[in-house]
Amino acid sequence: MSGRNMIPNAISYGYEFKISDYISRGFKIFKDNPGGFIGFVILFFIISIVIQMIPLLGFLIAIIVSPPLSVGIAIASHKQENDGDMAFGNFFKGFDYIGQLIVAKIIMLVIYFIIAIPLIFMVGIELITSFASGDPEAIIESGQELAKMGIWFLVFAMVFTYLAVCLRWTNYLIVFHKYEAVSAIKTSWQLVNKRWIWHFLFLLLCGLIMLAGFIALLVGIVVAYPIIMAADYAGYADITGLNQDNDDINELGTDVDLV
């Protein structure tokens, strides 16, 4: 079955999410080109740190630069598996799709902001009122009231986690199947939601692998990160049929019927 048909079928009928297979495949992809993956991750981390250090404009620059870089490992993995192409420049091919990636990033930020408005309102009004009064007792009482709102912070954390998991394949749909931003967001939601708990468990496992990388300091991080990103690509490729029937999808961005 080609990649043209597997996305709508996966949404309609579901699919098997094979966590261990994807981790194994991610490790194999990394093992075939460790120097390239490690080099890119180090460069990616350096770029991210430098951007964060830029006052005021850092956030805007991140919106432009981060999405293309975030799909770099997936694109390089795809080129490596299908063409045997291990050129370092493949890690930066995400900039070929920068327009729709930026649009998707902005839309998702707006969605997160809208959802956060109630929390911002509840916390903001409480703090502003107490500090405006200048009364130390009121400020202390305000802090105590905020502490009691722990359940609400938990609820919002759960909502944001659910949303982040649902939207995580948006960029892949833009790059690999040439979806426009809005369609990519919608399709990612539908696709991931079909097996949301398995996606969450996969990301939880990836988080544990990254934690192990932190424990092993820098060396562990630059190895763990590309493995889990390649594993994520492997899952996407399997479920969408990206690497099946390459006559239909023989290059990045070949058009596909939108869901």
**Do the domain assignments include residue 201?**
yes
**Do the domain assignments include residue 24?**
yes
Higher pLDDT, 25 or 129: 25
| pLDDT of amino acid 119 | 73
**Do the domain assignments include residue 208?**
yes
Q: Are 96 and 67 in contact (CB under 8 A)?
A: no
- Whole-number mean pLDDT of the chain? 84
**Do the domain assignments include residue 109?**
yes
**Do the domain assignments include residue 88?**
no
For 251, phi and psi rounded to 5 degrees?
-160, 160
Count of structural domains, the chain: 1
**Do the domain assignments include residue 61?**
no
Token pair 């990388």 in the structure block, residue: 213
| pLDDT of amino acid 140 | 57
pLDDT tens, position by position, 11-50: 999 999 999 999 999 999 999 999 999 999 999 999 999 9
Domain holding 158, by residue range, is: 7-33+102-240
Q: The pTM is what?
A: 0.83
Orientation of helix 170-177 relative to helix 181-193, angle to 10°:
120
Section 107-118 average pLDDT: 90
**Do the domain assignments include residue 256?**
no
